[in-house]
Amino acid sequence: MNIVKLNTENVDRIVPIFDEYRVYFNKTSNTTDAQKFLENNLKNGLSTIFIAEDNDKVIGFVQLYTVLSSLEMSDKLILNDLFLTSEARGQRIGEKLMNKAFEYARSQGYKNISLETHKTNIGGNKLYKKMGMTLDETHNYYSLKL
């Protein structure tokens, strides 16, 4: 099993699992728009994606985004997406992808990496705590569907 950084030349490798990820979270399958979305993000430097591959098959990925923090006057890294195929779960591949994300963040000079997840994501919540992340219980996060 290898973890490699995805680039625009091989973005088509992640489209099927990215679509599977979206369907897992009750979104409609759309590989055409997924391909465009991922290509745009990578081409314009909007995201960084690492894939876990086994025998040339993509079995997991992590997608990272940069955001600005006015209070810290610095960039922060958001671990926005982490997904494994059902066959890849239970093999510590999520840990390996997260470690790759942490390694990348440190190498790029980020001081913080954060994520949000559903309270019902039992496996993910256990993994994030195991990886040393702390649950922020002091802030409320709000959203408005537009």
pLDDT at 26: 92
Query: Can you read off the two tokens belonging to residue 84?
Result: 């494994």
Q: pLDDT band at residue 113, thresholds of 50, 70 and 90?
A: very high
What are the extents of the domains in the chain?
A: 2-124
- Is the domain spanning 2-124 CATH 3.40.50.150? The answer is no
CB 82: neighbour CB atoms within 10 A? 21
Residue spans of alpha helices (H) in the chain: 15-24, 31-43, 93-107, 122-130
The tens digit of pLDDT for each residue in 40-92 reads 999 999 999 999 999 989 999 999 999 998 888 889 999 999 999 989 998 99
> Per-residue pLDDT for 139 more than 90?
no
Tell me the pLDDT tens digit for each residue of 42-54.
999 999 999 999 9
- Distance (Å, rounded) from C-alpha 102 to C-alpha 21? 22
Q: Of 137, 138, 94, 132, which Cα lies nearest the Cα of 119? A: 137
Confidence (pTM): 0.92
